[in-house]
Chains A and B, each alone.
Chain A
Amino acid sequence: MRKFGALLLGDSPDAVIATTPAGEVLYWSPAAEAIFGYSCSEALGKSMQDLIVPPERRIDEQLIVHGEPPGRTSTYESYCRRKDGSLVYVDVTSKRMRDAQRGEYILTTKKDVTQLKVLRDAKLVEAKFGNLLESTPDGIVIASPTGLIVLANSQVEALFGYERGELRGKLVEMLLPERFRSGHVGHRSKFFSQPRTRSMGAGLELYGLRKDGAEFPLEISLSPLETDAGTLVMSAIRNITDRKKAEQKFRGLLESAPDAIVIVDVRGDIVLVNSQTVKLFGYTRDELLGNRIEMLVPPRFRDRHPGNRAEFFVNPKVRSMGEGLELFGLRKDGTEFPVEISLSPLETEEGRLVSSAIRDITERKRFEQALQEKNVELENANLAKDRFLATMSHELRTPLNAIIGFTGTLLMRLPGPLTPDQDKQLTTVQSSARHLLTLINDLLDLARIEAGKVELHLEPVACQSVLEEAATFLRPQAQKKELSFDLSMPRDNVVVQTDKRALSQIVLNLTNNAIKFTERGGVHLRLSTGDAGSIVISVSDTGVGIRPEDQAKIFEAFSQVGSSSRRRREGTGLGLHLSQALAALLGGHITFESQYGSGSTFTLLLHGA
């Protein structure tokens, strides 16, 4: 009989515990092992209070048990703590016993009513808060101190992928990834011993586990909820996948920027840097984060920097790269380098931050320096070239002066009479010397045009007068060769905005050429107006013309065509080249038509003002 009794005791689904009046465990049934997690051998001889009664419940429970006279049964609801820290609701029946053999002892049975209570609480809470909870955008989970889900709104069910009502009565830990579960049991028990509101995001990175096994980042806020059924915990859960993605994008953006980016808070502490910053300044991320931005500023600028920084925080304006003074950065190894910095305010949940993009401009400074040196060099080279041209001009003219001068005095017969041969030969010397002089002048003109040294004096120029002057100057030469010389011009004044000297030079050149290369017939100088106020000046001759194969290179320097040495001698070979260059300076150009053997027409086209 005793054996059967013992057997029944062992099989009882409720925990059966016997203790001394002081609470020392004398008996610990298998059900007690199952419910509280302590094995019989762990429990025997220990204080039951220490093992499973939460501190805040101990005095109450002592009073209940000891307040009853021996032999009377007392029954109450309470909760106990398991070995793993989690709580379990119990219905407790206890009785003070006395027995001759053992003296006084206390027999207690504890029935696990956690599930029953949760379902009861759920009804209560749902009736009271259900509608309210469904209407919030966040997922809401209400859990009991034992960690069972009393209520989950449909947002939570959708968030975690569960059916309606499927979560009720389950451990909240099922919503967490495996690796966080054991830690969480401890956390929530602690929360109940000191319940206080904890806001969103104030804590570590948290993750949720969906029914399908997928994880997602979440943010959670906890607050105690006083109900008729006791203190529950309400947690609002927000899926922050999108925000995390945005943050990742932001980080990606930071990393992909070519500049070092340093973000500081209002105190000047570095809160974020990208890897370019690490590379540029030589500090590790850890050495930078949380430290003052002034560590990156050379000592001589440090005093002023916090003031400037504070000013920017008060009155932030986006300041772009390169605007402002010459700035320098300081590396970990103490070296400095020139930087360009752009600042912009960054409004965040943690308040206003300032983002600064820092660019190392050492290379650019070097380039600028090199460029400047190159410029000086070029300028010097240009000056040297100018000096060379001036010297060449001077040195060539000096002996030419004596040659042309004394040839002239001889031909003037100042020293005495000349024989016809002497006269002829001296004339050849004279024309050769003049040829040389023209060559020098043309070469110098060309050099000046190519060096961009020609200054145009643009003014309204009457084309008629330019052509008349050329005609007056060159008609005698034509007459000497018994050539006709005609001039056709419109009666109305043709005025063009141009450089008179350059225009005259072109007209003289073309007309001079026409006379030079014509032996029979004549030269015809024409002025007319073309489309859109353009001016057309053409010089036609009945001379030798230009061979088709020579026409392509007629404007090249020293391209004078024909094999006659005499003809070669007569021009410099630079005249047309120079005229074309001058025409281009005036915004016009020269074209020609030629029939080999019967003459050429050169046409200068100037665009009207």
Chain B
Amino acid sequence: MAARILIVEDNEANLELMNYLLEMAGYIVLTATDGELGVAKARAERPDLILCDVQMPKMDGYDVAKTLKADKLMKATPLIAVTALAMVGDRDRILAAGFDGYLPKPITPKTFVSEIEAFLPPELHAATPPFRE
């Protein structure tokens, strides 16, 4: 069964890009447009994996990580930062804040889905991904 993936991203275009790539790969996508909504949706929907921007209004990615990783029910859920914070040191800072993975923007469309799948157990991979290169 394909995983349910929550995308927390305030930029519409980028939210749409990830949504499109994941849906085309056969995943069920949930979305939230800021950190607060993201945390609420994560708790309500219990997705299999969360992609989260870092710079966002209301609650930034660091606080989302802090909140979810302190939540007994949520801390096992893979939390991956997809961020335009791509300077030297950003990766370490973000992983230290509790994220399980780090993908810098701009993402590479061809490899994006497989990079996400690395964080999912095989049984949650989409059955017949329409695109593999």
Contact = CB atoms under 8 A, between A and B. Distances in A.
A399 B86 contact: no
B33 interface: no
Interface string B75-88: 00000000011111
Interface residues of A, number: 23
Given A394-B84, A401-B14, A408 B105 contact: no
A405 B131 contact: no
B85 A390 contact: yes
A391 to B, nearest CB: 9
A398 B11 contact: yes
Contacts of B86: 393-394, 397
Contacts of B110: 408, 412
Given A398-B84, A448-B88, A404 B55 contact: no
Contacts of A393: 84-87
B7 to A, nearest CB: 13
A30 to B, nearest CB: 120
Nearest to A413: B131
Contacts of A409: 17, 20-21, 24, 109
A397 B14 CA distance: 11
B84 A406 contact: no
Contacts of A404: 106-109
Interface string B87-101: 110000000000000
Interface in B8-42: 11, 13-14, 16-17, 20-21, 24
Interface in A362-412: 389-390, 393-395, 397-406, 408-409, 412
Contact of B55 (A389, A394, A400, A402): A394
Contacts of A433: 106
Interface residues of B, number: 24
B108 A408 contact: yes
Contact of A394 (B20, B21, B85, B131): B85
A390 B55 CA distance: 12
A426 interface: no
A414 interface: yes
Given A393-B84, A397-B84, A414-B131, A405 B106 contact: yes
A397 B106 contact: yes
B23 to A, nearest CB: 10
B11 A405 contact: no
A20 to B, nearest CB: 125
Nearest to A433: B106
A444 interface: yes
Nearest to B16: A402
Interface of A is mostly: helix
Nearest to A390: B87
Nearest to B84: A397
B20 A414 contact: yes
Nearest to A402: B13
Nearest to A409: B109
A171 interface: no
A494 interface: no
Given A390-B87, A409-B20, A414-B131, A397 B105 contact: yes
Contacts of A327: none
Given A389-B87, A393-B84, A414-B24, A401 B105 contact: yes
Most buried by A among B86, B108, B110: B86
A394 B21 CA distance: 22
Contacts of A402: 11, 13-14, 16-17
Contacts of B130: 414
A394 B84 CA distance: 5
A297 interface: no
A252 B107 CA distance: 80
Contact of B13 (A394, A397, A399): A399
A408 B109 contact: yes
B81 to A, nearest CB: 13
A90 B108 CA distance: 135
A437 interface: yes
B109 to A, nearest CB: 3
Nearest to A403: B106
Contacts of A405: 14, 17, 21, 106-107, 109
Contacts of B14: 398, 401-402, 405
Contact of A401 (B20, B88, B107, B133): B107
A408 B24 CA distance: 13
A408 B86 CA distance: 20
B60 to A, nearest CB: 12
Contacts of A406: 13, 17
Nearest to B111: A408
Interface string B50-87: 00000100000000000000000000000000001111
A362 B42 CA distance: 64
A401 B84 contact: yes
Contacts of B84: 393-395, 397-398, 401
A412 B109 contact: yes
A406 B17 CA distance: 7
- Which of B17, B87, B107 has the most chain A CB within a 10 Å cutoff? B87
Nearest to B23: A414
B100 to A, nearest CB: 21
Nearest to A407: B109
A398 B82 CA distance: 11
Contacts of A395: 84
B69 to A, nearest CB: 23
Contacts of A444: 87
17 contacts: A389-B87, A393-B87, A394-B84, A397-B86, A400-B106, A402-B13, A402-B16, A402-B17, A404-B108, A404-B109, A405-B14, A408-B109, A409-B20, A409-B24, A409-B109, A412-B110, A412-B133
- Give 7 closest A-B pairs by Cβ, nearest first: A408-B109, A397-B84, A402-B13, A401-B105, A405-B17, A401-B106, A404-B106
